[in-house]
Amino acid sequence: MDTTSISKFRKEIIWGIVLVVLIIVAGFILQKNNILLVNKNGVTASSTEPMFNGVPLKDVYTKEVPQGATLTDAQTVIPASANKALTTSARTIVMKATQDGFNPSTVTVNQWDRIELAFSPQDGDYDFSIPYLGTYFYTVKKGEQTKMAFELPTSGTFYFECLYACPTSGKIKGEIVVLPKNARQ
């Protein structure tokens, strides 16, 4: 190899390194400015769409409360406090999962009520997620029951789903409707 070809080879290596560095820098800039967003389903979201943990916010929560929404029947309802001035209650909701979906698929509660959700798969093993709350039940076996307690301080509609362990090989979804404090039932 003569010195001309060595010099040309070095230039090609340097240009290759510069190109790789530019691509990496551009990727960081695009991600930092939310220009290139891909949600958990591999769908690119717009740069103006609000995100929640890398997922479009509209997929986990919306401010809308359906007209005529009524409280879901609870297994038990007790006052959340002995203080009569407080109007919140503790509600136990039993939720079953089958290949046909969740039962109930819509749970309606009052804002700030303490909810105990008793989750019970009926025809297979399921997992359960409320993305907005960051809650996730790992696989719950058929016939077992797992409970979680939570409060929702914001009115609106929160979505839940069977995320990965769904016997139907597809997601099943539902929603928790939270009635605003001034609409208490």
Residue-wise pLDDT tens digits, 54-90: 667 677 878 888 888 888 887 766 665 666 666 667 8
Q: What are phi and psi of 161, to 5 degrees?
A: -160, 160
With beta carbons less than 8 A apart as the criterion, state whether 117 and 136 touch: no
Domains of the chain by range and CATH? 3-45 (no CATH), 64-183 (2.60.40.420)
Q: Cβ(45)–Cβ(51) under 8 Å?
A: yes
Cβ proximity of 158 and 173 under 8 Å: no
- Mean pLDDT, the chain cut into blocks of 10 residues (185 residues total): 71 84 76 49 51 68 85 72 66 90 93 90 90 86 91 90 80 91 64
Asked if 120 and 97 touch (Cβ cutoff 8 Å), the reply is: yes
User: pTM of the entire structure?
Assistant: 0.65
